[in-house]
Structure 1
């Protein structure tokens, strides 16, 4: 069983930190983040594009761990389970190719079959569904298609602009998420 850095429950570089470069934000995350070796096999086959063959190819918006970490930062999300649910849901929604059946199946697997440290609790399930829809209506590019390496020197605000991420859309949803989850600290801190 992997050990998790306690900072993962506290980590957040909010949307308001737009002047930080993607590289410096990523460096901060990598100080406490888990390696790909620590990711359980079921999470890898569900979320990693290396497993792009049936039946797993039905899950669109799958990204490498590097891309996933960059997307957390671009969306202004931390690394709690509810943040993971949002990041994955928004990425899948931004692909504009995820079927309703595949989205429901992914949510079921993440909520029931993932190891406990990765499993989406009920509040995260709702956030995952909301994020899928938000990604679909967003003007952002499909986030799984982005090569983030050439963007590392840009500020987070510049990266968001380059990708078509509407920060006001995210802030509006984060307010709704905080209202729906008044006892979830990870939701309350999104508006900082």
Structure 2
């Protein structure tokens, strides 16, 4: 699937943290998918609206708006490795992901998701790395944050309020770039440093 250039290139790097969360979100909305364009299977797995009462199959499920805010705060674009990282870090931030949940999520994303939403082996490795990073991070569970109430803050201030450590992310992004030298989305994470 060929993505439009503005979607492929969309990224607010970690160091570009002075604009408000609302300004960044408005930029992202210009290129983001609408909820109704996401396949039902993906929504059933990732959107808490579809959880059975009292049963969370996958920790950290979010609606699309929350997911978009998390992309901004983690300094990730919207390409497959970016999606894998954002989902993994969000799940890890709940401190509730076990090995069976990680494997079950991998089963869905690698084999059952529609073709354009499937994770490659590399994408799934980034997801697993991100689960662990989210777990060791001192941030709040990212799926529980009231992002609209932070919209007036700069990205840097919002990260501080939530407890997202930019240094932790930056260190991992350097590792990711070394592991995947042919990956556009991994390489642009370090090329974007000032």
Q: Same fold (TM over 0.5)?
A: yes
Between the aligned partners of 2:55 and 2:67, the Cα distance in structure 1 is: 18
- Describe the shift of the 1:183–1:4 C-alpha distance in structure 2 as closer, same or farther (beyond 3 A): closer
Between the aligned partners of 1:67 and 1:131, the Cα distance in structure 2 is: 17
Counterpart for residue 11 of structure 2? 12
**In the alignment, is the contact (CA less than 8 A) between 1:51 and 1:57 conserved in 2?**
no
CA-atom RMSD, angstroms? 1.7
**In the alignment, is the contact (CA less than 8 A) between 1:46 and 1:56 conserved in 2?**
no
- Describe the shift of the 1:174–1:53 C-alpha distance in structure 2 as closer, same or farther (beyond 3 A): same
Counterpart for residue 60 of structure 1? 59
Counterpart for residue 132 of structure 2? 133
Structure 2, unmatched stretches of 5+, are: none
Counterpart for residue 42 of structure 1? 41
Counterpart for residue 71 of structure 2? 72
**In the alignment, is the contact (CA less than 8 A) between 1:13 and 1:73 conserved in 2?**
yes
Equivalences for residues 156-175 of structure 1 within 5 A? 156-175=155-174
Q: In the TM superposition, what whole-angstrom CA distance separates every residue of 1:76-117 from its partner, at most 9, and x where no partner exists? A: 000001000000000000001122101111012111111111
Between the aligned partners of 1:169 and 1:162, the Cα distance in structure 2 is: 16
- Describe the shift of the 1:141–1:107 C-alpha distance in structure 2 as closer, same or farther (beyond 3 A): same
TM-aligned CA deviation for residue 56 of structure 1: 6.7
TM-aligned CA deviation for residue 55 of structure 1: 10
Question: For 1:58, what is the secondary structure of its paired residue?
Answer: coil
Q: In the TM superposition, what whole-angstrom CA distance separates every residue of 1:25-74 from its partner, at most 9, and x where no partner exists? A: 11111111110010000110110011222897220000010000000000
Q: In the TM superposition, what whole-angstrom CA distance separates every residue of 1:122-172 from its partner, at most 9, and x where no partner exists? A: 111100000000000000000011010111111100010000001000000
Scaled by the length of structure 2, the TM-score of the pair is: 0.94
Between the aligned partners of 1:173 and 1:107, the Cα distance in structure 2 is: 21
Q: How many residues align?
A: 191
Scaled by the length of structure 1, the TM-score of the pair is: 0.95
State the 4+ residue runs in structure 1 displaced beyond 6 angstroms: none
TM-aligned CA deviation for residue 6 of structure 1: 3.9
Counterpart for residue 27 of structure 1? 26
